[in-house]
Amino acid sequence: PLDWRLAGNAAANLSGGVFVICILLFVSDFLGLAEVSPRSYRRLLRPLIGAMLIAFPLFLWRPWLGNTLIALGTIIATGLIPFLSWRAMGTQRLALSFHLAALLFFACGSVHLVKRMGFIPDVPALALVLQIGSALIVIAFSIAVLDRVRRIAEENREVQRRHAEQLEHDVAERTVD
């Protein structure tokens, strides 16, 4: 007979792993890490995501091992993503809230996973850490995306202004001739 409690636990861990990988891919794409820091992206982030993807088949046979690999990947990402995002910040003007959100997400996820692995006690205060962290992350990501859209609009206006000035200059030169 199927133990529904264990199946539910494995499903929760599996969905948490999928969520972590999706956030890693979103952060990587948002920051343009493949373009900004291709070597770090190729040598650090891609292997980390690959290792976390390998964990999914393990959930079927050894859920604790799959959960441990996802937890380790999340903990490593906690240090890696803020480092890479600060590095990207040197070449891109990004909202500070995005960097804080990335750090907050991976820190909350690490605390939650370490708690689930049994390394820290399961106290009531830690029960809400993932929900509170998720709410704050959604707000911070929204602010970061809003800031990015605003910056893109500013850049487009600047390009249009330069083209208009160039066109005026070209017309003025032709009318003088």
pLDDT tens-place string over residues 87-143: 666 555 555 666 677 677 777 777 777 777 777 887 877 777 777 777 877 787 787
How many CB atoms within 10 Å of residue 92? 14
Tell if the pTM clears 0.75, that is, is over it. no
Between CA 12 and CA 23, with CA 17 as vertex, the angle to 5 degrees is 125
- For 176, half-sphere exposure in the C-beta direction (CA atoms, 13 angstrom radius) is 6
> What tens digit of pLDDT does each residue of 35-64 get?
777 888 888 888 888 888 887 777 777 777
CA separation for the pair 139, 143 (Å, rounded): 6
Give residue for tokens 């409690």: 5
Q: CA-to-CA distance for 46 and 37, rounded, in angstroms?
A: 12
